[in-house]
Amino acid sequence: MDITTVLGTLLAFGFVIGAMASGVGGIAIFVHVPSLGLVAGGTTAVVLMNFTMADMKGLVKVILRTYFFKLGTPGDEIGRVIEYANLARKEGLLALEEKLGEVEDPFFGKGIQLVIDGFSADTVRDIMDLEAEWQRQRHNKGKMMLDALGAMAPAFGMIGTLVGLVQMLQNLSDPSAIGGGMATALLTTLYGAMAANMVFIPLSGKLDVRSKEEVLLRELMIEGIVAIQSGEKPQLIKEKLKSFLSPRDREAIEA
């Protein structure tokens, strides 16, 4: 679980809901089902026009990934690569097959399997580069969907505001109808702004950060796996992979 994403979400909603609850009427006056339906339904419908049904089904996984998927650290990956390099150098590449059951990352596992199967270093690199690029494109599509949701939610909030204003102006002679029109006008804007700025845009940013971190890890893994296949010395592999780390992280590795 990514504690920063969870904590940030809880704090954002906590502050807003706290402000709502502190006023006259409490939270109840901010609940307006037609406004919520307009923003949620309209935003979903328009985004569906931009993407396929399969993409929409995968949106939940994209959102959950920002909350619950935890990447390994470059230092951990370097340690694992060195461990496999030592084993391969002492007992041969086929000895790595016994370690495959311990690999939780499918990407790393696929690379080690290619090495065990005897593919050349260039072939291993080509296959792994293609796999990494395909993962990057999938993540980029998820970010595009969240960006679209973040753009459309405020737009439908504004549409709801216009609808509410029209309803209110058409019924100025009926004071009892003014309140409903004003509620629709203001609350749709509120719902759209909350959805965009407290959910979709922050999650899109987190997914972008995660994607870049994962690209770095994938490149590190590829270099390590190819080096193992080439039979390079573990210490040489370690020095090569340290180039992926910041100076502070390099010092931690040495320690």
Model pLDDT for residues 137-167, shown as the tens digit of each residue: 888 888 899 999 999 999 999 998 888 888 7
The H-or-E segment that residue 5 falls in is helix 3-22
User: Which tokens in the block code for residue 18?
Assistant: 């706290």
CA distance 28 to 67: 29
pTM: 0.79
Report how far apart, in Å, the C-alpha atoms of 164 and of each of 142, 159, 160, 196, 245 are.
Answer: 33, 9, 6, 20, 55
The predicted pLDDT at position 255 comes to: 58
Between vectors from CA 11 to CA 187 and to CA 55, what angle results, nearest 5°? 70
The predicted pLDDT at position 40 comes to: 92
Q: Which tens digits make up the pLDDT trace of 228-246?
A: 888 888 888 888 888 887 7
The predicted pLDDT at position 190 comes to: 92
Phi-psi region of 103 (alpha: psi -120 to 50; beta: other; left: phi over 0): beta
Report how far apart, in Å, the C-alpha atoms of 73 and of each of 76, 78, 80, 103, 216 are.
Answer: 5, 9, 11, 15, 10
For the cut 90, the answer to whether the pLDDT of residue 192 exceeds it is yes
Please compute the mean of the pLDDT values over residues 84-89 and round it to a whole number: 87
Higher-confidence residue: 144 or 179?
144
